Amino acid sequence: MKGRLKNRVAIIIGAAKGIGAAMARRFVEQGARVVLADLDADSGERLLAELPPERAVFVRANVAVEADMQAVADLALARFGRIDILLQNAGIYPSYLLEDMTLSQWQDVLAVNLTGSFLATRACLPAMRAQGGGKMVFTSSITGPRVANPGVAAYASSKAGINGLIRSAALEFARYGITVNGIEPGNILTEGLSAGRSPSFISNMEKSIPLGRLGLPDDVAHAALFLASDEAAYITGTTIVVDGGQTLPESKDFADPAAWQ
């Protein structure tokens, strides 16, 4: 079904690569006009070149800087006249053991992932409120809300915090006709994952997933499209898990039918 986002204006933060780029492509295909924001200007400009020039604009912006988020919202209003959808996908995921992590390292992760989500929300809220509605969608993670690994305490904390922000914002913004939801991806095969992990590591990751493969950026983009569309008009304050069933098994024997007896 085409045209699900016809005449809608979407801001996509963290849009230059991976999941954000997949979101941008899907949203434009479905009729949206998009403002793409990212710190990676080179990748952002390459993505922009793929899209119809009258339907997309790119701006270099840091989600952790309040003035940058306000500038993104101002650009959307100046270029397209409204803000219907906010997709906050920007995030960082460094690995530090708690015993070794510095306060600065902890604060850097929360500044981007959690405070950045707050700043993006604040920047887009006035336009959505004045219009009488809008949709906010945040990229959370299964890491933090559902599972964890050594070395990801800051990341997990930030993503669990995003889920709390989603629920609170959904309650506060319901009176304005604004829905607030999130997506919890599992292991998604982005450029960063494929470049930073060995084939054997990725193969072992796949064995932990009941559907037998890592997710693709499009798998997350399709969930975002649903939450941003009219089909999700009565959904707010929740998250969709996109993990191929990764968080379901109680043990590693899930893939062996002989162990089910």
Which is the catalytic residue, given 93, 96, 155, 176?
A: 155
CATH number of the domain that 124 lies in?
Answer: 3.40.50.720
Q: Is residue 250 part of a domain?
A: no
Tally of domains in the chain = 1
In the prediction, which pLDDT does 191 show?
A: 82
Active site residue 155: yes
Q: Calculate helix-pair angle for 153-173, 116-131, nearest 10 degrees.
A: 20
How far apart (Å, rounded) are the C-alpha atoms in residues 94 and 31?
Answer: 35
pTM across the whole model: 0.95
Q: Is residue 257 part of a domain?
A: no
Q: Is residue 223 part of a domain?
A: yes
Domain that holds residue 59: 9-243
Q: Is residue 258 part of a domain?
A: no
Print pLDDT tens along the chain (261 aa).
789 999 999 999 999 999 999 999 999 999 999 999 999 999 999 999 999 999 999 999 999 999 999 999 999 999 999 999 999 999 999 999 999 999 999 999 999 999 999 999 999 999 999 999 999 999 999 999 999 999 999 999 999 999 999 999 999 999 999 999 999 999 999 887 766 678 888 888 899 999 999 999 999 999 999 999 999 999 999 999 999 999 999 887 887 787 776
Q: Is residue 56 part of a domain?
A: yes
Per residue in 47-63, is it b (16+ CB within 10 Å) or e — as a string?
bbeebeeeebbbbbbbb
Q: Is residue 3 part of a domain?
A: no
Q: Is residue 261 part of a domain?
A: no
Residues whose CB is less than 8 angstroms from the CB of residue 159 and which lie 6 or more positions away in sequence, other chains included: 91, 113, 140, 141, 143, 144, 145, 184
